[in-house]
Structure 1
């Protein structure tokens, strides 16, 4: 599995650092910050996304991503993009409103979509 995760919202860089902290706790995941070059008026590079690499589609990645998103407040949106260009978008409001069964189903669907993308 090799995907890029971007976050949109009020504080996308802070959210990316928060998500990274959550994901690096999972065994078997390599989590790399994707930085943009420094621009005038800003100290240092910006953080654009995370690259997540694992030997195969990771249940830990999918479950951690969904669990993290459930803790977000406000208009936070996550875009997961695979190497083949397939893209999955999730938002905190929708994910946070799911009950346990809905959350489990979302995790299954997300994992299946990533596996299908990997097979292409």
Structure 2
């Protein structure tokens, strides 16, 4: 899976998200770099790569991304792309105001979109 930040991300944003993923024991998280822009020094971090093996791992990644993005001051979007090309984008603006039950639904939706499976049924919370 590839994770890209959209907006005005910095290398520190990618490193911070990587730390959140590693804190949740998501395996195989690496920073992807490209060559520096002309006139600048050092490679540019422009993607996170995550080695996934199961739907549970996708849920862990989705939960980590939502937790991370809700606590960012910048209005970034995060696009996650599975190896088969399925992708999902989550927006900081959209998830900041969600209640706990809505956040669980968002995680389920992200997992279903990336796995190609129907999201699990959840009881309505009052």
TM-score, length of structure 1 as denominator length: 0.86
Distance of 1:80 and 1:25 partners within structure 2 = 19
Aligned residue for 1:64? 64
RMSD: 1.6
Q: 1:98: Cα distance to partner? A: 0.8
Distance of 2:104 and 2:94 partners within structure 1 = 14
Aligned residue for 1:74? 74
Structure 2 gaps of 5+ residues are 118-126
**Please, which of 42, 47, 65 is the counterpart of residue 44 of structure 1?**
42
The answer on whether the counterparts of 1:80 and 1:87 sit within 8 Å (CA) in structure 2 is: yes
TM-score, length of structure 2 as denominator length: 0.82
Q: 1:97: Cα distance to partner? A: 1.3
Q: Looking at CA atoms only, which structure, 1 or 2, has the larger radius of gyration? A: 2
RCO greater where, 1 or 2, for CA within 8 Å and sep 6 or more? 1
Q: Kindly report which structure 2 residues correspond to 1:1-120, keeping only aligned pairs within 5 A, or say none.
A: 3-57=1-55, 58=57, 59-116=59-116
Q: Which has the higher strand share?
A: 1
Structure 1 gaps of 5+ residues are none
When residues 55 and 13 of structure 1 are mapped into structure 2, their CA distance, relative to the original with a 3 A threshold, is: same
> Post-superposition, which runs of at least 4 consecutive aligned residues in structure 1 deviate over 3 A?
none
Distance of 1:102 and 1:26 partners within structure 2 = 21
Count of matched residue positions in the alignment of Structure 1 and Structure 2: 115
Q: 1:20: Cα distance to partner? A: 0.5
When residues 28 and 80 of structure 1 are mapped into structure 2, their CA distance, relative to the original with a 3 A threshold, is: closer
